Amino acid sequence: MNTSTPHIEVMRSQLGRARGLGAGQSGTAHWWAERASAASLLPLSTWFVVQMFRLGGADHAEVARWGAKPCNATMLAAVIITTFYHAQVGLQVIVDDYVHGKAHLPTRLAVKIITSLLGLLGVFAVIKLVAGGSSGK
């Protein structure tokens, strides 16, 4: 046993610090975002699985023709946006639960940035496919 003892800097109770500040504001928004995107993903991912049955083993020409159809592009973009939105919201809960202290904020930002970029990459791939462009590489 050493000489050091615990030391509390703020001489107010947690309740005293919270009192008068009002609610945390965001309320149940995060919870709802998670459930709403989850429910939306049920039909969207079903559509995606069905499409994978159409595309299993397909070559580039077949995939390009498939992706160029406006209906497919719309559904595909919806799948991508909803998937990465749901991933962002869900991963944030995991980070909030398991990452503490100094690492918390950077990890949370990293989750936001990476999921956003992946979603954007998917959306731009869809745009390129639907525009029929292929660099020939």
Nearer to other proteins among residue 23 and residue 53 (C-beta): 53
Distance CA 132, CA 93 (A): 39
Nearer to other proteins among residue 25 and residue 59 (C-beta): 59
Q: Cβ 62 to other proteins, closest distance in Å?
A: 9
Nearer to other proteins among residue 74 and residue 134 (C-beta): 134
- For residue 14, the SS3 value is helix
Q: Cβ 100 to other proteins, closest distance in Å?
A: 7
Nearer to other proteins among residue 1 and residue 23 (C-beta): 1
Distance CA 76, CA 48 (A): 8
Note whether 76 and 67 are within 8 A (CB). yes
The angle formed by the CA atoms of residues 92, 45 and 75, to the nearest 5 degrees, is 105
Q: Cβ 45 to other proteins, closest distance in Å?
A: 7
Q: Cβ 72 to other proteins, closest distance in Å?
A: 11
Note whether 99 and 68 are within 8 A (CB). no
Q: Cβ 33 to other proteins, closest distance in Å?
A: 13
Distance CA 43, CA 50 (A): 11
Q: In the numeric block, which tokens belong to residue 87?
A: 């991933």
Q: Which residues bind other proteins (CB under 8 A)?
A: 1-2, 4-10, 14, 35, 38-39, 41-42, 45, 49, 52-53, 56-61, 63-64, 67, 76, 80, 83-84, 87, 90-91, 94, 100-101, 115, 118-119, 121-122, 124-126, 128-129, 133-137
Distance CA 35, CA 50 (A): 23
